[in-house]
Structure 1
Amino acid sequence: MADQSPAGEDILMRRKRLRYRAWHRGTQEMDLILGPYVDAHLDRLDGAALDRLEAFIAEEDVLLLKWVMGQEPPPPSADSELIAELVAFRQSSSR
């Protein structure tokens, strides 16, 4: 049986929506950080990982950019594991 969100949304539709949201953030900087990361990882994410990504993407771009760029430490409530993955991905992609 396919993973589904609580609203009954198909996992393929969730992935499609997340890909769009990652590339259309409102700030080009976050588009260029989240878009490639999501393109590289999205097809392997299960329902729980999609939940984490959706919660992360719900944060404001200004805050996300500061956390990912190391300009400001994320609060304890932030998904520090996901932030670390984004930072590592960004650094490996820029080489």
Structure 2
Amino acid sequence: MATLRRALLRLHQTLTLTPPRSSQSLLGSHIGSISRFSSDRGSLDVDLSDEESKRRLHNRLLYRSRQRGFLELDLILGSWVEENIRSLDELHIRALMDVLDLENPDLWKWLTGQEQPPEAVNDNPVFTAVQSRVMGNLNSHAAPETRANPGQPWVRGWDDKRGQEGGPKYGNQ
């Protein structure tokens, strides 16, 4: 719901604060709920002019990265942002904001390689950095044969073996 609210606010700001653009360029910068990584948007308020503004922005982004409501993403994004936020320039901060605007289930599948991300997300430098870290950790701590094939869900049902030879007849025994 908060993502929808932010998208509507961004759309309202774009329509009211910038000179009219063709509908194709306005719609071309968004794919569903995924905003393309581009520097022509003026709707994001990134103020790095003084230390207080930087501190507030960094704190807001750190909070958003740690409080997503999806524990795995809270841990991954929160630690990445905490380690890297001070070295990000305005372009990368905008890229981070685009990543934080993505929906949790989609972002998790894209970061872990369960699904191929859309081109707009795959071209985002912050997404690429976080994904390489996740995949590096995954490859060093989990053998590939223990993971599902791309496109297949990782979470299996509690009764996957029911009805199979040697499997439980009732429930997950």
TM > 0.5: yes
Higher helix residue share: 1
What's 1:82 paired with?
126
Larger radius of gyration: 2
Q: Displaced runs of 4+ in structure 1, greater than 4 A?
A: 92-95
SS of 1:10 mapped into structure 2: helix
Contact kept? 1:69, 1:87, Cα under 8 Å: yes
Offset, 1:63: 0.7
SS of 2:116 mapped into structure 1: coil
Residue of structure 1 aligned with 2:91, choices 35, 38, 48? 48
Q: Is 2:73 aligned against 1:11?
A: no
Equivalenced residue count is 90
Contact kept? 1:22, 1:31, Cα under 8 Å: yes
Report the TM-score, using the length of structure 1 for normalisation: 0.81
Q: Distance in 2 between matches of 1:89 and 1:69?
A: 10
Identity over aligned residues, as a percent? 30
Q: Distance in 2 between matches of 1:41 and 1:13?
A: 16
Contact kept? 2:80, 2:130, Cα under 8 Å: yes
Q: Is 2:67 aligned against 1:24?
A: yes
Aligned amino acid, residue 93 of structure 2: L
Report the TM-score, using the length of structure 2 for normalisation: 0.47
